[in-house]
Amino acid sequence: MAFILLSMALVLWLSEFVGGLPLATLIVAVVDAVAATVIYFVSLHSSMKRISARLDTIYEVSATVEMAYRQVVLFVKKIMGGT
């Protein structure tokens, strides 16, 4: 919420210097997009890669557990005389 209020105040302040609200909005939007990109690549990108690697590991383990479960079910069905 504070970021939105700060952006609005910056747009209104900047519109007095550039002479129009649309141009000030565009300038602030570009600055915000650049800041978000820098923050992502500097601090969040490595964390997202680690989380992705952990999720891949969890997926592989769950696939192995599912395969083992199916094998046990087939084995039990054979013992019980089912198809």
pLDDT for position 61: 94
Per-residue pLDDT of the chain (83 residues; tens, 9 = 90+): 898 999 999 999 999 999 899 999 999 999 999 999 998 888 888 888 889 889 999 999 999 999 999 999 999 999 988 65
Q: Model pTM?
A: 0.55
Domain count, the chain: 1
Q: Could you list the residue range(s) of the whole structural domain that residue 37 is in?
A: 2-80
Q: In angstroms, rounded to a whole number, what is the distance separating the alpha carbons of residues 21 and 6?
A: 15
4 secondary structure, DSSP code: H
Count of residues for the chain?
A: 83
* Closest by Cα among 44, 18, 45, 48 to 31: 18
Given a contact cutoff of 8 angstroms between Cβ atoms, the answer to whether 38 and 47 are in contact is no
First-to-final CA distance of the chain: 61
